[in-house]
Structure 1
Amino acid sequence: MARSGAVWGIDIGNCALKALRCRRHEKDDNKLVVEAFDFIEYPKILTQPEADREALVAEAVATFVSRNEIAGDRVALSVPGQSGLSRFIKLPPVEAKKIPDMVKYEAKGQIPFALEDVVWDYQQLAGSQDDGYALDPEIGLFAMKRDQVHRAIQPLTEAGLEVDCIQLAPLAIYNYACFDRMNNMEDAPPFDPADPPKSLLVLSFGTETTDLVITNGYRVWQRNIPIGGSHFTRALTKELQLTFTKAEHLKRNATKAEDPRALFQAMRPVFSDLVAEIQRSIGFFMNNNKNAEIGDIVALGNPMRLPGLQRFLAQNLDQEVILLEEFPGLLGGSVTAAPQFQSNHLSFAEAYGLCVQGLGLGQLQTNLLPEEIVTERLIKGKKPWTVAAAAVLMLGFTVNYYSHYATYATADVKDSGMSQAISKASSVESKANNFSSEHSSLVAKYDELKEIRSSLRSNDDGRVLWLELLKAIKSALPQDPRPAEERKMTALDVRERPELHIETLDCEYFQDVGTWYTSVERSVKEASKIKSFDNTPAPAAGEEAAEGDEAPTADEAAPATPEDAELAEQDAADQETLAEDTLEDLGQGEGEAEFVPPTGEGWIIQITGYHFHNSDINNPSEFEERGLAEAGQFVRQTLIKNLREGSVMLPTRDGEMKEYSMEKLGIQIPVMISNYRPVQVTYDPNAADAEEAQRNWSAYQQGNAEGGLGGLGGFNGRTPAGGANATVSTPPPEHWKLRKYEFEVQFIWQPQPRSERDNDPQESVSDDMLP
């Protein structure tokens, strides 16, 4: 059915059904034209104990449908704010295209139900964009349980109405406020969080609750206060011992009561509770929005007709409370001038806001209508066209069939020799079917043999996979090209050796290596963060170590010196380059195509080690000359580069040596996950390990303390020259000052057996293997 361009905004409250039919103004986009309205009051308030809510609502909807023309109009429905959930989330600066994924992640944490059990939607309320990035975006997240949504639209569905939009009542009030009170934000300046415009406070009083909405147009904050018009009625029934019906009538006609003073005295506690809740809500909002300032206060809803309520609110809030006489943005002529509309115009704000959204003019366009309903209606709308297309297609097939049949009927099969041709064709077809069946049988046998062959090959290839990996890692490690006899046992020679010392080699199996990549991606973003290392100062020059001090081990931190400070400054200056190098390791450097994360099962291999291939901080020229060619850069230029671009000689299944690239072996994405600084260590070249260095140092201390043969008799137990009575101090162990860099490298290994990486062209079974 063709759309009329008009929208019905329907507000099903606890006291009455309110509806407005609006369409856009032909010339002014900031005006709506009211074409019809309806106000249907229930015989009983829905919250009364004896009231049948479903029946009363169904009766009101049926009455509404019977006396209004709705065909072709869009329908927008509001639901109470307490039926749904509203959350306002501030996200960090992020790429605009990633906002949906981040919101979905936040929704899982913010919504206390499984996402499949709720209908939810979101919209960005504030924030700016710069070069594809959203800066300080604020997201409005709104949700409602799926079963509550279906209960809300059930009365309209049973009456034959199709709801196009479902919105929470406070958000409908927000759309009304922006459109009617703020000229729909036309010509509004860009939002400045440091100097926001004044906020409008809207109090929408209902039967059971009051919706408090605070907005400056750019952002919105709302709270549902559990006090409404019926609370005044209940106060009267309690204090004056009246029935609910009599108390409601007395409340609506308070000025005509015999004793109005007693009446207001009975309702005073409700007045006080209401003002206290409003003040508490405003205080909470101001505490969380330091730069906000409340401007006008607007009150809506029929409970505001209660005498004295407007004045009481103004006195206690220390600000004028505006009671609207009309809606400036609503043009209706005779419709809005109708007595029933005039006497109840304060209760039409929600329906007004629904019409604004339904016509595409609302600042907030979220919709809680379930997707399955939208899909079902879309299919239903396409059905007539589908049936028509199918009918045309069948007609075409029919015409085509009869044309071919007519041509065939003109041929005399018996007399023209076509009988022999048809018989021969049938014979050929039979042979072709036999050959096809035989081919299928042979293919099945081939597949069976191929499976057996693959199983045998995998057993054979699987034995050498880990050996091949170890050899590949070894080939990727930098080697000192000099023979062992040409190497010198000096600190300078050790620093010059292009060697990496591997301490551990670990592995872990992953069902999906993409999980590992996610963790690496997070670490890349934090690549510029440096782990701190404490430097323990050594004794000053000329001071001896105190008795009982332990000898420094090879891993002990170096003394804090001016050179250390220079080194720390240099390291800090190199961090930006270090982060860029890490991105390059992942193939995500500037100008690279977008990296596609790997998937599938595989192993994550971790190599932990260190190297001394670093400059001497006591030699400024050497330190300045090397720069980034040491520390982590040395690992990248050797191990990581070789794991990415290198190759290794391995035997094939035939025993011949063949060169394979690391990628061919299944090695991918080598990346250094550590981000340490080189530290100065004291290294004992005569010690096999740290424990032996400790023993040498203890021997030196004890020799100095006891002297001569009275202690250990000299270093390494040798008797000093001069006899047994000579007193000689033990010579100190030789110590080198080296800069040690520790690293951790990880990469993906998805093993490629020899049969697969060789890409053997003889993948078919030989003739003698076939039956």
Structure 2
Amino acid sequence: MKLERLLIKSKFQSLNSQKLSQVFKNSRKKSAWGIDINECFLRVAKITQVSQELLIDDLGIIEIPQVQSESNDSQSADVKKAIQAFLSKHNILKEDKVVMSISGQSVLPRFINIPPVEKKQLKGIVNYEAKQQIPFDLKDIVWDYQQLTEKVADTNSIEVGLFASKRATLDQLLANISPLETRLTAIQAVPLAIYNLISFDQQINGLTIIINSETESTDLIIVDGLYFWLRSIPTSKVDADLVKEIQRSMEYYKSLMREASNFQTILLTGNKFNEPNNVKFITDNFTYEVKIFKTLNNVKLSSNVNATDFNENILHFTPALGLALQGIGLGRIKINLLPPERIKTAEISKKKPYAIASLGCLALSLLIQYSGLYTRNTYLQNSETLYQKVLQNIKELEGKYKNAETHTQTNKSALDLISSVDPSRFIWLEGLDKLVSLIPNNVSLSNIQSSWIDEGAINSSKKVSAEAVQPKKTVASTKPGPLKKLLLMGIKGESQEPSMRFIEEHIIKPVQSLTLFDQKVAAFKNVEIVPGSSRQVERKNGQGNHISFEIRWIVKSIDEIHDEENSVISLNGTSTPPNKS
């Protein structure tokens, strides 16, 4: 079956230096470390937010020896040594955030369009989509999602990004950085970290592709306003094969667009583009404007960082800087692939000192209260007047309790009202999912639509048909009752099998018998082919004749479903045999 990809265009306003004052307004000092680990390097960057400035406070590159071995034990040992070397040279403060990278090849990205719903419903729908989109058992992966576009009045969908990584891969990473595990705030994919830095610091005009080429892989990030698309290629050589893969990715992205899209800029980053020959090779093989990421606009260097060393190695630090921005809270993409149980452990660890202090204060408060109550109790034993005051206080508390009970009952009624809302609001999602699954492979749909109509519209059409074959009779006029709303659904498409019998057998009949949710009877009625919609379509490309069609039906109401189910139960139930005389 074929369905077109939906895409919502939106204007993108980049963050420039003039708006930084609004971003940092009333903010206190924050610091975050971005730690980027690959097979060859451990690269770190610390960004501090002070007043209305972002400062790079610390940088570091530690090489990881390359060991030719089938086992990962040697590589893990070298990573652990690099972590120890980092900790010996750099001081991580207690309040600093730490965000770690994971390679783009270890992350599975999925971009989905769903109907615009309230935030409280979004998580359930995304969880359902994750089961459909991610080809692994959810128990074996860690995944996170983020809504990428806002709900707009004139659009019928929002875009959500799903990102998943195998739990075994993340466990291995955490084992290698065990000294930092308790300090870790988040784990982010390298291409998403680069996107966070570029979207925050650079002015992106038009459709742009970012190429991040490292020693072991190359990441492609296509930026199109508020939209982006990712692909990781397991190659580190800047050659003709890489150019072909980049061109394939660009053409694939353009095929997703309903409107014609033309790339304007290529932005290069990654240590591979420290070599001028690699930059020249990309420039010679593409007609677009080629830029190298070499300056920062919204982030400055502190006096602790050597400007010359930084400028020479800036292509190394793009992922680490993007990770640090996310740690401060300034990254647009806030995906966190740190396992949920580790997040809870870290939160509990951070709250322990506060919990101990709170318990100490509570114990002291109880001790003071106990002492006061003991003194008061002794006094009350000898004072009838104070006893009456206490009795009066009890009566007042009783009145407050009754008021609170009344308030609770009032709120309960409101909650009962909310819970009684018709569950048919999910009929579109369930119906679309099952409808798509029953359409044959040689049938393509061009349109799926639904609308609410008055019941009178259906009855009037039937009445006209009846009057065409029967003589008119004079009847007394009656006052019409309130009209009910009916949900009318329909599909348009083409069948490669140019036979109306095929459409009736393989589309109309399955739609007539389709059931939704846990219902026992068919969910649709009045399934019919729209008169005049069926016609032969001749293909010029030699594919033979097709037949176009339009089918519509009415969704049964909840009351109709219940009545039919009760009828089925009564027919299938036990009956008393007749008495024999």
User: TM-score when scaled to structure 1?
Assistant: 0.47
Q: 2:249 aligns with which of 266, 274, 281?
A: 281
Q: 1:367 aligns with which of 336, 345, 349?
A: 336
Measure the CA separation in 2 of the matches of 1:627 and 1:408. 77
Kindly state the Cα deviation for residue 675 of structure 1 after the two structures are TM-superposed: 3.8
The sequence identity of aligned pairs, in percent, is 31
Counterpart residue number, 1:561: none
SS in structure 2 opposite 1:380? Answer: helix
2:453 equivalent to 1:576: yes
Q: 1:40 aligns with which of 40, 62, 66?
A: 62
Kindly state the Cα deviation for residue 17 of structure 1 after the two structures are TM-superposed: 0.8
State the AA in 2 paired with 1:286. Answer: K
Measure the CA separation in 1 of the matches of 2:144 and 2:136. 14
Can you list the C-alpha shifts for 1:708-745, whole angstroms capped at 9, x where unaligned?
Answer: xxxxxxxxxxxxxxxxxxxxxxxxxxxxxxxxxx9994
Kindly state the Cα deviation for residue 344 of structure 1 after the two structures are TM-superposed: 1.9
Q: 1:85 aligns with which of 96, 108, 112?
A: 108
Kindly state the Cα deviation for residue 58 of structure 1 after the two structures are TM-superposed: 0.8
Measure the CA separation in 2 of the matches of 1:127 and 1:174. 19
Assess if the C-alpha contact under 8 Å between 1:90 and 1:136 holds in 2.
Answer: yes
Cα separation, partners in 2 of 1:399 and 1:202, compared to 1, 3 Å: closer
Measure the CA separation in 2 of the matches of 1:35 and 1:520. 53
Measure the CA separation in 2 of the matches of 1:158 and 1:677. 65
Measure the CA separation in 1 of the matches of 2:301 and 2:425. 62
Assess if the C-alpha contact under 8 Å between 1:336 and 1:342 holds in 2.
Answer: no
Counterpart residue number, 1:558: none
Cα separation, partners in 2 of 1:47 and 1:393, compared to 1, 3 Å: same
Kindly state the Cα deviation for residue 271 of structure 1 after the two structures are TM-superposed: 1.3
Q: 2:286 aligns with which of 294, 317, 331?
A: 317
After TM superposition, list the pairs within 5 Å mapping 1:109-128 onto structure 2.
Answer: 109-128=132-151
Cα separation, partners in 2 of 1:320 and 1:629, compared to 1, 3 Å: closer
2:48 equivalent to 1:23: yes
What count of residue pairs does the alignment treat as equivalent?
409
Counterpart residue number, 1:166: 187
Kindly state the Cα deviation for residue 293 of structure 1 after the two structures are TM-superposed: 2.2
2:267 equivalent to 1:298: yes
Measure the CA separation in 2 of the matches of 1:677 and 1:126. 36
Assess if the C-alpha contact under 8 Å between 1:17 and 1:60 holds in 2.
Answer: yes
With 165-174 and 112-121 compared, the bigger mean Cα shift is at 112-121
Measure the CA separation in 1 of the matches of 2:212 and 2:182. 27
Counterpart residue number, 1:140: 161
Assess if the C-alpha contact under 8 Å between 2:263 and 2:288 holds in 1.
Answer: no
Measure the CA separation in 2 of the matches of 1:677 and 1:19. 63
Q: 1:58 aligns with which of 77, 80, 86?
A: 80
Cα separation, partners in 2 of 1:378 and 1:615, compared to 1, 3 Å: same
Cα separation, partners in 2 of 1:346 and 1:371, compared to 1, 3 Å: same
State the AA in 1 paired with 2:195. Answer: Y
Counterpart residue number, 1:347: 316
Counterpart residue number, 2:412: none
Cα separation, partners in 2 of 1:520 and 1:95, compared to 1, 3 Å: closer
Counterpart residue number, 1:272: 240
Kindly state the Cα deviation for residue 381 of structure 1 after the two structures are TM-superposed: 2.8
Assess if the C-alpha contact under 8 Å between 2:36 and 2:42 holds in 1.
Answer: yes
Assess if the C-alpha contact under 8 Å between 1:616 and 1:622 holds in 2.
Answer: no
Larger radius of gyration: 1
Kindly state the Cα deviation for residue 382 of structure 1 after the two structures are TM-superposed: 2.8
Can you list the C-alpha shifts for 1:22-52, whole angstroms capped at 9, x where unaligned?
Answer: 1235336xxx31111111112x236766982
2:37 equivalent to 1:12: yes
Q: 2:224 aligns with which of 216, 238, 246?
A: 216
After TM superposition, list the pairs within 5 Å mapping 1:518-529 onto structure 2.
Answer: 522=427
State the AA in 2 paired with 1:382. Answer: K
SS in structure 1 opposite 2:168? Answer: helix
State the AA in 2 paired with 1:576. Answer: I
Coordinate RMSD, CA, aligned: 4.4
If asked which structure has higher relative contact order (CA below 8 Å, sep 6+), I would say: 2
Measure the CA separation in 2 of the matches of 1:207 and 1:349. 15
Kindly state the Cα deviation for residue 95 of structure 1 after the two structures are TM-superposed: 4.7
Q: 1:327 aligns with which of 284, 296, 300?
A: 296
Kindly state the Cα deviation for residue 277 of structure 1 after the two structures are TM-superposed: 1.4
Kindly state the Cα deviation for residue 99 of structure 1 after the two structures are TM-superposed: 2.6
Cα separation, partners in 2 of 1:106 and 1:575, compared to 1, 3 Å: closer
2:327 equivalent to 1:358: yes
Can you list the C-alpha shifts for 1:389-420, whole angstroms capped at 9, x where unaligned?
Answer: 434444566677789999999xxxxxxxxxxx
SS in structure 2 opposite 1:283? Answer: helix
Cα separation, partners in 2 of 1:622 and 1:674, compared to 1, 3 Å: farther
Assess if the C-alpha contact under 8 Å between 1:14 and 1:47 holds in 2.
Answer: no
Measure the CA separation in 2 of the matches of 1:317 and 1:215. 17
* 4+ aligned runs moved over 4 Å, structure 1: 46-51, 93-97, 333-336, 392-409, 517-521, 523-526, 614-617, 619-630, 671-674
Counterpart residue number, 2:506: none
2:284 equivalent to 1:379: no
Assess if the C-alpha contact under 8 Å between 2:206 and 2:225 holds in 1.
Answer: no
Please state which structure has a larger fraction of its residues in strand: 2
SS in structure 2 opposite 1:126? Answer: coil
Kindly state the Cα deviation for residue 314 of structure 1 after the two structures are TM-superposed: 1.1
Measure the CA separation in 2 of the matches of 1:524 and 1:310. 48
Can you list the C-alpha shifts for 1:101-151, whole angstroms capped at 9, x where unaligned?
Answer: 221111111112222332211112235422xx9643111111112232232
Can you list the C-alpha shifts for 1:462-512, whole angstroms capped at 9, x where unaligned?
Answer: xxxxxxxxxxxxxxxxxxxxxxxxxxxxxxxxxxxxxxxxxxxxxxxxxxx
State the AA in 2 paired with 1:285. Answer: Y
Kindly state the Cα deviation for residue 61 of structure 1 after the two structures are TM-superposed: 0.9
Assess if the C-alpha contact under 8 Å between 1:10 and 1:20 holds in 2.
Answer: yes
Assess if the C-alpha contact under 8 Å between 1:4 and 1:73 holds in 2.
Answer: no
Can you list the C-alpha shifts for 1:203-253, whole angstroms capped at 9, x where unaligned?
Answer: 10111110011102401101111111xxx5xxxxxxxxxxxxxxxxxxxxx
Measure the CA separation in 1 of the matches of 2:430 and 2:131. 24
Measure the CA separation in 1 of the matches of 2:35 and 2:264. 29
User: TM-score when scaled to structure 2?
Assistant: 0.61
Kindly state the Cα deviation for residue 329 of structure 1 after the two structures are TM-superposed: 2.9
Measure the CA separation in 2 of the matches of 1:521 and 1:352. 43
Can you list the C-alpha shifts for 1:622-664, whole angstroms capped at 9, x where unaligned?
Answer: 699679779x98xxxxxxxxxxxxxxxxxxxxxxxxxxxxxxx
Counterpart residue number, 1:157: 178
SS in structure 2 opposite 1:281? Answer: helix
Kindly state the Cα deviation for residue 93 of structure 1 after the two structures are TM-superposed: 4.4
State the AA in 2 paired with 1:85. Answer: L
After TM superposition, list the pairs within 5 Å mapping 1:602-617 onto structure 2.
Answer: 616-617=467-468
After TM superposition, list the pairs within 5 Å mapping 1:153-552 onto structure 2.
Answer: 153-159=174-180, 162-182=183-203, 198-228=206-236, 271-289=239-257, 290-335=259-304, 337-395=306-364, 522=427
Measure the CA separation in 2 of the matches of 1:272 and 1:201. 18
Measure the CA separation in 1 of the matches of 2:192 and 2:377. 71
Assess if the C-alpha contact under 8 Å between 2:99 and 2:188 holds in 1.
Answer: yes
Unaligned runs of 5+ in 1: 184-196, 233-269, 410-513, 527-573, 582-610, 634-668, 679-741, 751-771
State the AA in 1 paired with 2:231. Answer: R
SS in structure 2 opposite 1:328? Answer: coil
Measure the CA separation in 2 of the matches of 1:292 and 1:344. 34
